[in-house]
Amino acid sequence: MKRVSLFSMANCPHCKTAKQYLEQQKIGFRLVDVRSPAGQKEFAKTGFRSVPVMKVGDQFLKGFSVKGFNQLYKG
């Protein structure tokens, strides 16, 4: 199983969609709040500027799509 991290912020609708999908599929993930100091620091290292961003294994998915996520997670 690949480790999954979801970089998000509270009032982001696409982040919420991604989180709900992971929960529905019973996929364990780590939620990283990019508004927290630790989350900001970690998010800065990714090089992305907007959320959601998912880290699946050692690859990144900008935004969220079921197809894109499944390609990385199951690939």
Q: pLDDT band at residue 8, thresholds of 50, 70 and 90?
A: very high
Quick one: tokens of 1? Answer: 């199983």
Span 46-75, average pLDDT = 97
pTM listed for this prediction: 0.95
The candidate with the shortest Cα–Cα distance to 54, out of 72, 74, 36, is: 72
Tell me what percent of the residues of the chain surpass a pLDDT of 90: 97
The pLDDT of residue 1 is above 90: no
| CATH class of the region 4-74 | alpha beta
